[in-house]
Amino acid sequence: MNLWLLLTFTALAECRFQKRGAHSCPDLCSCSFPPSGAEVVCSQSSLTHFPINGLSPNTTRLSIQSTNLSSVTATHLTAVPLLNNLQLYHNNLSSLPSDLLKGVPHLNTLDLTGNQLVHLPPNIFSHVSLHSLVLKNNMIETVDAEWFSLNSSLTWLDLSGNRLTGVPSALFLKLPQLKNLDLSDNSLQELQPDALKNMHHLETLNLAGNKLISLKPTTFTHNPKLSQLFLQENQLQDLPATLLHGLQHLELLLLNQNQLQYLPSGFLDDRESSFRVILTGNPWVCDDKIEFLKKWLIVNPQNVILLEEVTCARPEALKHRQVVSLTDSELGLIKSDKFST
């Protein structure tokens, strides 16, 4: 009987110990314990080291944000083998080891926004089946195709706010499932014409805030599902007439704050009623070459955001006039007959 009581008390004590461990929480962090697994948030600036002590092995979501964390290793992450969502944004991370994610095979979301990352080692993202990767607002200068394995499952990639001057086509060849790609606010000077050819599922592409001067006619030929295209705040001087051909699902096109003087004839034809475009902030030259744009604006005013701000930059006599208000004679489209009496 005494042996039975001893075994019972031992089992109860072990159960209580395991329960306390499963519901422990690291210092400087807050924790919740839904049925899906522990969720841990650490957002104290005084945090300087990875909060491994007290971290529940059942943790599925871990957010370390706005701290002074400067290092994270694969050993740290082996403490949370069930992790599927890791947010490490606005910390002081300047480098990451290539084996960082080996111990978290279930990870599908990784956010590294707002750190000081300059270079990432090869294969760093090849150990897990990530669906979402955010590298926004770091100091990354080059992108390496070797970051990923072949046929990556990634559907969302955000590289905005870095220091990229180019992106190798080999990178995108490894991301056939990508639906959302954000390359905005970098220093891209060109986009290789075949860069996006393997991205048949791409729906949103953000190239805003770069230094693009031109685009090739076939740039988006292989992206028939593209619905949102952001090209604003570049240095685009002209666009190919066939650039949007095949983009039957395009719903939003931003071309504002570029150096466009004209749009080629037919450029915006065959758009759905749900299509919206922004054209403001371009130096439109209002002569006979602006005829296509003027007629399209008149026929499709409901498709244009800030229609009244699509105005002439030249000639001086028409400066600040709304393009949609111009007459054919003002554009030189009606020639006077010198033989008339």
| Whether pLDDT at 274 is above 60 | yes
Q: Each residue of 29-59: pLDDT tens digit?
A: 999 999 999 999 999 999 999 999 999 999 9
| Whether pLDDT at 195 is above 70 | yes
Count the domains in the chain. Answer: 1
Question: Does 322 reside within a domain?
Answer: no
pLDDT averaged over every residue in the chain? 91
Instruction: Write out the two tokens for 219.
Output: 């740039």
Cis peptide before 168 (omega within 30 of 0): no
Place of tokens 């370390």: 64
Question: Does 37 reside within a domain?
Answer: yes
Do 92 and 115 contact (CB within 8 A), yes or no?
yes
Instruction: Write out the two tokens for 27.
Output: 């210092």
Phi and psi dihedrals of 127, rounded to 5?
Answer: -90, -10
Q: Each residue of 283-309: pLDDT tens digit?
A: 999 999 999 999 999 999 999 999 999
Residue 51 C-beta-side C-alpha neighbours within 13 Å: 28
Q: What is the CA radius of gyration of the chain?
A: 28
Q: How confident is the model at residue 1 (pLDDT cuts 50, 70, 90)?
A: very low
Instruction: Write out the two tokens for 52.
Output: 């491994």
CATH code of the domain covering residue 93 = 3.80.10.10
Q: Which domain holds residue 98?
A: 18-111
Q: Beta-strand (E) ranges in the chain?
A: 29-32, 38-42, 59-64, 85-87, 109-111, 132-134, 156-158, 180-182, 204-206, 228-230, 252-254, 276-278, 284-285, 304-305, 312-314
Question: Does 295 reside within a domain?
Answer: no
More confident residue, 10 or 259: 259
Question: Does 222 reside within a domain?
Answer: no
Beta bridge pairs of residue 180: 156, 204
For range 162-166, the mean pLDDT: 96
In this structure, of 10-24, 27-41, 57-71, 243-257, the range with the lowest mean pLDDT score is 10-24
| Whether pLDDT at 6 is above 80 | no
Angle at 68 between CA 63 and CA 71, to 5 degrees: 75
Place of tokens 């983009």: 247
| Whether pLDDT at 17 is above 60 | no
pTM: 0.90
Question: Does 265 reside within a domain?
Answer: no
For range 96-103, the mean pLDDT: 96
CA-based diameter of the chain, in Å?
A: 128
SS3 at position 152: coil
Question: Does 319 reside within a domain?
Answer: no
For range 210-231, the mean pLDDT: 96
Question: Does 298 reside within a domain?
Answer: no
| Whether pLDDT at 339 is above 60 | no
Question: Does 64 reside within a domain?
Answer: yes
Do 128 and 151 contact (CB within 8 A), yes or no?
no
Do 221 and 240 contact (CB within 8 A), yes or no?
no
Instruction: Write out the two tokens for 298.
Output: 């008149």
Phi and psi dihedrals of 278, rounded to 5?
Answer: -120, 130
